[in-house]
């Protein structure tokens, strides 16, 4: 298949295909912007600045800012993967038609990969353009003429090869993930999808979560055992990110296991129709709950670690710590909004995809209120224990990385010096903040799912019985 034909087939389609490409490009643009900001902070040198924020002026704090931007990029890239599933049944039927016209399985795989790469490339270049535009718009200084300080590091630019790695790496990763997603699926010329049935794993999530969370909780001991105290960065950071990836993978896969377990528990026992529908759905497709809540779980995991890190401060009334708390609050809000956006995309797409089933239930006399409650229960029941477990994992990770005690002056008003009396203080677990975050996350997810239910009225219309299965 010629390159021009491949590009034309990958970039044409119906409204759902256009929406999928636009949403994928938008998510990739936000992810690229977060990674470019991380690169900028990483290239701040001793001769750059000074800056208004202590997080940018203090070289020892740059690693934390870089990690925050990088971690915020994770749920953004997860959102990209969720957006790529919009209109998946229609795309599969279009690829099946191409198979009937003579395309090989390798051809349809390349078409799907090129579509994802094209959308990601458009988003990456858009993110790069926004990055350079923001550098010009936000290039401001303040203070007396002889003490000018920059608001943001607009005087720093990463080398061209680092920018190219971000812009080229995101489309390459999108194409690779699309190819891997279709590796077990064969689209026949008759439009029949043959795939290995999705079965929720049982032992693997527990093993990954125990290994990742336990390793992060004992991170200081691991660094000491490997004699890496003087080389914590970057080797120690790589070890921590590996453990973080294990714990995150265990949480995401564990959501599917939790959904399947809840479905098996409720299915034979409940009598209410909406619980029966939700439990059967969780038993039939447990992995859909994992895809729906993965961005939410990662967001909660990230922000809990950041929150406990700030609590290590001994005097949070100072301006430095106050501004740090403000930035952490912004990061929390951004992460939760990203998670809510991913949940909204998946919930709405799931309702539209199953519109024939909803239409059949509505035509047989099932009230729309029952269908709405079933959709809410299917999303929220697996999410509640998973969010609590994610928050607990974030607490273990932060306390393992930053410790459980801090040494400071016995008198908070005293200054550090040779005669200052220091004492070791225990870092408390932020139970109140933790409860507010968990409750707020679940409330936001409930409201987001309720917004997605706006698609239910049209999806359950009897005319949708003519829709393709």
Residue-wise pLDDT for 167-180, tens only, equals 999 888 888 877 77
**Backbone φ and ψ of 183, nearest 5°:** -70, -25
Cα torsion 420, 426, 429, 432 to 10°: value is -50
Last residue of a domain, which of 163, 196, 229? 196
Together in a domain, 12 and 135: yes
Together in a domain, 235 and 264: yes
Give me the DSSP letters along 357-394. Answer: HHHHHHHTT--HHHHHHHHHHHHHHHHHHHHHHHHHHH
Together in a domain, 189 and 322: no
Question: Is a pLDDT exceeding 50 seen at residue 412?
Answer: no
- pLDDT for the residue numbered 42: 85
CB atoms within 10 A of CB 17: 18
Together in a domain, 216 and 190: no
Together in a domain, 177 and 205: no
Residues β-bridged to residue 186: 194
Last residue of a domain, which of 149, 167, 196? 196
Question: Is a pLDDT exceeding 60 seen at residue 440?
Answer: yes
Quick one: CA dihedral 57, 62, 64, 70, positive or negative?
Answer: positive
Quick one: average pLDDT of 5-34?
A: 79
Together in a domain, 189 and 219: no
**CB proximity list for 248: less than 8 A, separation 6 or greater:** 74, 212, 297, 298, 301
Together in a domain, 223 and 163: no
Number of domains forming the structure of the chain: 2
Together in a domain, 142 and 247: no
Q: Kindly report the CA angle at 22 between 289 and 115, in degrees rounded to 5?
A: 85
Residue-wise pLDDT tens digits, 341-398: 777 777 777 777 778 888 888 888 889 889 999 888 888 888 888 888 888 887 777 7
**Separation CA 409–CA 236 (nearest Å):** 29
CB atoms within 10 A of CB 207: 13
Q: Quick check: helix, strand or coil at residue 415?
A: coil
Together in a domain, 132 and 247: no
**pTM for this predicted structure:** 0.70
Together in a domain, 234 and 321: yes
**Separation CA 76–CA 342 (nearest Å):** 9
Q: How far is CA 307 from the centre of its chain?
A: 18
The residue ranking higher by pLDDT, 133 or 112, is 133
**What own/partner pairs with CB < 8 Å and gap ≥ 24 does 161-166 have?**
162/39, 162/43, 163/36, 163/39, 163/128, 166/32, 166/35, 166/36, 166/39, 166/124, 166/128
Last residue of a domain, which of 196, 211, 237? 196
Residue-wise pLDDT tens digits, 137-147: 887 776 666 56
Question: Is a pLDDT exceeding 90 seen at residue 85?
Answer: no
In order of 39, 46, 120, the CA distances from 162 in angstroms are: 8, 20, 18
Together in a domain, 431 and 447: yes
Question: Is a pLDDT exceeding 60 seen at residue 315?
Answer: no
Residue-wise pLDDT tens digits, 277-298: 989 888 887 777 666 565 566 6
Q: What range defines the domain where residue 360 resides? A: 199-469
- pLDDT for the residue numbered 413: 46
Residue-wise pLDDT tens digits, 152-172: 888 888 888 989 998 999 888
Together in a domain, 63 and 103: yes
């Amino acid at each position: 298949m010629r390159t021009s034909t491949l590009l034309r087939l990958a970039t044409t389609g119906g409204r759902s295909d256009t929406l999928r490409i636009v949403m994928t490009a938008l998510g990739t643009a936000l992810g690229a912007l977060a990674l470019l900001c991380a690169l900028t902070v990483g290239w701040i040198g001793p001769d750059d600045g000074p800056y208004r924020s202590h997080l940018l002026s203090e070289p020892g704090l740059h690693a934390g800012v870089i990690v925050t931007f990088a971690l915020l990029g994770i749920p953004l890239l997860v959102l990209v993967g969720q957006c790529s599933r919009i209109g998946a049944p229609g795309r599969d039927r279009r690829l099946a038609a191409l198979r009937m016209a003579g395309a090989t399985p390798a051809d349809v795989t390349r078409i799907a990969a090129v579509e994802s790469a094209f959308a990601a490339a458009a988003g990456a270049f858009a993110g790069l353009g926004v990055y350079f535009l923001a550098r010009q718009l936000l290039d401001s200084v303040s203070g007396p003429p002889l003490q000018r300080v920059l608001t943001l590091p607009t005087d720093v630019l990463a080398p061209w090869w680092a920018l190219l790695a971000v812009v080229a790496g995101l489309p390459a990763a999108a194409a690779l993930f699309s190819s891997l997603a279709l590796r077990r699926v064969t689209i026949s010329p008759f439009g029949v999808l043959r795939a290995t049935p999705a079965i929720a794993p049982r032992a693997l999530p527990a093993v990954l979560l125990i290994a990742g969370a336990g390793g992060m909780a004992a991170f200081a001991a691991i660094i000491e055992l490997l004699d890496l105290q003087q080389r914590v960065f970057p080797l120690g950071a790589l070890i921590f990110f590996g453990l973080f990836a294990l714990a995150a993978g265990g949480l995401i896969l564990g959501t599917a296991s939790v959904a399947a377990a809840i479905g098996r528990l409720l299915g034979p026992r409940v009598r209410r129709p909406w619980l029966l529908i939700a439990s059967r759905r969780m038993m039939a497709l447990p992995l859909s709950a994992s895809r729906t809540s993965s961005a939410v779980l990662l967001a909660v995991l990230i922000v809990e670690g950041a929150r406990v890190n700030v609590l290590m401060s001994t005097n949070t009334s100072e301006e430095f710590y106050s501004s740090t708390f403000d930035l952490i609050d912004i990061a929390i809000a951004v992460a939760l909004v990203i998670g809510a956006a991913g949940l909204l995309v998946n919930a709405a797409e799931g309702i539209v995809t199953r519109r024939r089933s909803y239409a059949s239930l509505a035509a047989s006399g099932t009230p729309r209120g029952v269908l709405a409650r079933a959709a809410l229960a299917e999303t929220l029941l697996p999410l509640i224990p998973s969010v609590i477990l994610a928050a607990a994992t974030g607490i273990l990770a932060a306390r393992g990385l930053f410790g459980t005690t801090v040494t400071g002056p016995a008198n908070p008003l005293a200054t550090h010096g040779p005669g200052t009396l220091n004492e070791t203080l225990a870092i408390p677990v932020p139970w109140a903040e933790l409860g507010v975050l968990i409750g707020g996350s679940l409330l936001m997810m409930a409201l987001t799912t309720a917004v997605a239910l706006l698609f239910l009225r049209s999806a359950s219309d009897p005319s949708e019985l003519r829709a393709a299965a």
